[in-house]
Structure 1
Amino acid sequence: MRISRGLVKTNLLLLLLVAVLTVIPLFIVQGGEFGGADGQAEAVIQSIDPDYEPWFTSILEPASGEIESLLFALQAAIGSAFIFYYIGYVVGKKKGMEQAS
């Protein structure tokens, strides 16, 4: 199976574009705080209704922000591993069926 040069160039261009779009905000927002949507939502709710109390609290509260980030990254890694395993399985099954016929 040969990969065309045009496809390789397109993929490299897309990877470069993703890298640029990832790095540019780090230079534009110097000293900015990159917070999550949860903190922003909590601030808006408090400004609308200062007496609001949540319906429930977390069962497990991480000891620090680093542990919370670790758990989030672990969750993302497990999810992406499952998705890419499934994609690989489907592609491999399709190729196997093509080769068998």
Structure 2
Amino acid sequence: MRNGVLFLFVILLTIIPLIFIKNAEFGGADGQAGKVITEVEPDYEPWFNAIWEPPSGEIESLLFSLQAALGAIIIGYVIGYGKARKKYSSAKE
């Protein structure tokens, strides 16, 4: 029951902002930070350049999604391992 309520809450947190924000373009923090930096210091030159630039925005999104999925898998594994270890170590005693 509690998991169902939490799942519904997460779905609502995802959908409600999309309903209230009409015709908005979702941009990343990197782009916004770049604009602010050029406004504050027009002669600013970055310290580093990208080693590799993805050929399209779709590939960039794919790589970002894969990175997020891999992180979620690792975090889920660590949490599951910890719970199982706690469960089975208390069962031995």
Q: TM-score, structure 1 length as denominator?
A: 0.84
Unaligned stretches of 5+ residues in structure 1: 1-7
Counterparts of 1:22 and 1:92, CA distance in 2: 31
Q: TM-score, structure 2 length as denominator?
A: 0.91
Give the alignment partner of residue 96 of structure 1, picking from 63, 88, 92. 88
Unaligned stretches of 5+ residues in structure 2: none
Larger CA Rg, structure 1 vs 2: 1
Hey, what does 1:3 align to over in structure 2?
none
Give the alignment partner of residue 70 of structure 1, picking from 45, 52, 62. 62
Counterparts of 1:91 and 1:14, CA distance in 2: 20
Counterparts of 2:66 and 2:34, CA distance in 1: 25
State percent identity of aligned pairs: 55
- SS at the partner of 1:15? helix
**What is the CA-CA distance between 1:81 and the residue it aligns to?**
0.6
RMSD of the TM alignment (CA)? Answer: 1.2
CA displacement, residues 28-81 of structure 1 (integer Å, 9 cap, x when unaligned)? 111110111001000101111121110110111111111111111111111111
Counterparts of 1:33 and 1:60, CA distance in 2: 25
Counterparts of 1:16 and 1:78, CA distance in 2: 24
